[in-house]
Amino acid sequence: MKPRILVLAAVAAALVGVAAFAVASSQGPVAMSGVVARVGSASVRAVDQLGAHDSIVVAQVTAPDDSWVVAYRVGMEGMPGALLGHAHVGAGTTTDVRVSIDSAIRLTPYAIITLNADRGVRGRFEFVMNRFDASPDKPYYVAGQAVQTTITVALTENGDTFEIPTAPAPAP
């Protein structure tokens, strides 16, 4: 079952990438939003954590400056959804970063872990996705890609991983 989930996740990510490329190329050159970091200076690495319910542990984070490790539910079209939680890290490499999960947010099968700069008031998380341009703590980008990873976190009641449901075919 896990290979099927991975294939579906890869297909969804590819479709989002193609759609983003189509939109970007149809509008001509677009300035990158976010904080651009050089190759090797910003990264996140995390492994699947089936059954996570109160926190997610990010195995390794490399940050060019004070930063935020941020966890989101996977929302529509594979994009970051509701904010699960965040943890502050200093410059350099940090291991085993624990991100507490907001108990009011229901987990989805996958979580997106990103690395955001701490550019506003130091130590205060100031990023709101629907106010991206006005938020000082934007995500890092390396070589044109957001510094992020997606992991599996949730289980069904019977212990199996969730499957991404497919949309029903329209009635004839």
Q: Is residue 87 in a domain?
A: yes
- pLDDT bucket at 154, cuts 50 / 70 / 90: confident
For residue 141, the domain's CATH number is 2.60.40
Q: How far apart are CA 88 and CA 124, in angstroms?
A: 9
One domain, residues 21 and 39 = no
Task: For residue 170, tell me if it sits in a domain.
Answer: no
Give the domain range for residue 15: 1-30
Residues 132, 112 share a domain: yes
Question: 52 and 5 share a domain?
Answer: no
CA 164/CA 117 separation, integer angstroms: 31
Distance (Å, rounded) from C-alpha 105 to C-alpha 25?
35
Of the two residues 113 and 33, the one the predictor is more confident about is 113
Q: How far, in Å, CA of 62 to CA of 40, rounded?
A: 8
User: Is 78 in contact with 16 (CB distance < 8 Å)?
Assistant: yes
Tokens describing residue 82? 């509701």
Q: Which of 89, 75, 51 is nearest to 130 (CA)?
A: 75
Q: Are 20 and 41 found together in one domain?
A: no
Question: Looking at the predicted structure, is the pLDDT value of residue 69 above 60?
Answer: yes
Q: Are residues 15 and 71 in the same domain?
A: no
What are the DSSP calls for 58-124, one per residue? Answer: EEEEEESSSEEEEEEEE-GGGSEEEEEEEEEE-SEEEEEEEEEPPTTSPP-SEEEEEEEE--SSTTS
The answer to pTM > 0.85 is: no
Per residue in 111-148, pLDDT (tens digit) is 999 999 999 999 999 999 888 889 999 999 999 999 99
Spatial strand order of the sheet with 55-63 comes to: 43-45, 55-63, 92-100
Q: Which residue did the predictor score with more confidence, 169 or 5?
A: 5
Q: What is the mean pLDDT of residues 48-53?
A: 87
Residue of higher predicted confidence among 95 and 76:
95
The tally of domains found in the chain comes to 2
